[in-house]
Structure 1
Amino acid sequence: MAGRTIAVIDYGMGNLRSAAKAVEHVAAGATVVVTADPAVVAAAERVVFPGQGAMPDCMRELDARGLREAVLQAAREKPFLGICVGEQMLFERSEEGDVAGLGVFPGVVRRFPEARMVGADGLRLKVPHMGWNEVRQRPHALWAGIADGARFYFVHSYCVQDIDPALTAGTTDYGLPFTCAVARDNIFAVQFHPEKSARDGLQLLKNFVEWRP
């Protein structure tokens, strides 16, 4: 990885420090840069696109910093990892604020149907979905070394729905099954937080650093 740069995109809405530190931990010899500079994003070998907070705020801040085209270009051209709202923003639209996303993938981000959210014990489930949950994998290089059904850390009230089933790389259950990881070509994106998900989260980030799509 000597001389290679991994850009963590800073549009003011991500948990950037923990994401960047986790990537640094597994990316020996690489330079990890937290940046709001489109030129730095364009020059990086690979890109991490985190997100945290409300979708309308994230889209507004992305545009305010002039980063939309840099993100779209990176998603077309290089290994690209979306995290949490960074996954949701890749889709066409979100019900959260009825806001358009980046449209990289077809699909809509919808709120969990709270009135119908019931656990195996018959009790009502709370929204947001917060805490550790199992992820069922579909074959992909970024799951290497991670057991099917491994637990990752989630914090969200919305999830992607109405998507092409071929995009789904991982699913989980929270009152209903939902897609929690998507993949196509050079893009892998997850609803959960690998940087907060202990050994398996670090393994996923390591796999991303080494990935050659």
Structure 2
Amino acid sequence: MGTIVMQAFITLDGVVQAGGGPNEDREGGFEHAGWAADYDAKYGDEEGAKIIGDWESRAEALLLGRKTYEIFARSWGVWDENAKGLAGELARRYNRIPKYVASRTLTEVGWQNSQLLGPDVPAAVKKLRAEASGEIRVWGSTRLIRTLAAHDLVDEYRLAVYPLVLGTGKRLFSDGFPLARLTLADTRALPSGVLVNTYRRSDAG
């Protein structure tokens, strides 16, 4: 059986929207796009990059909502696989592993090794997890995460918590998020001030 692992760069007030770049996601008039990238450019360290590299070396598939899929497809899907360092490593891995997309509006997906999950997302994900081995990675995709949590399909949350308060933006755990009982499995304080926390389902052992 596979493990569904949700990862996020998140602020102290729970915002996960558009951390990676200024044009990533401005939905709702969000004015702080690129906040995580900006912070990393100023305070980042090699340890943070190593953690991300280690996380993604374990990813055997990506599970994404429509908006995150489109962001990834127009970035990792077209970036140079021969780039040095982590960027090249992630581009190569993301291009090669399967991508599963939850969407009510897309009728086709063009990024290689991608497929739509169909209308019954919880059932499709449950089947995928039962048949997979290794980690099924979820980035972003707040609506998808809420759906998965409602059906008890998230095994682990890995959160890189930035010492920022934005006061606006999409939150990972918004009002009405399904009840979840989690266990803190690991925590690491980085020199940059980012706190990396791993939470698992309390019944995961």
Q: Common fold, TM-score beyond 0.5? A: no
Structure (1 or 2) with the greater strand fraction: 1
**Structure with bigger RCO (C-alpha 8 Å, 6+ apart):** 2
TM-score (norm 1): 0.32
TM-score (norm 2): 0.33
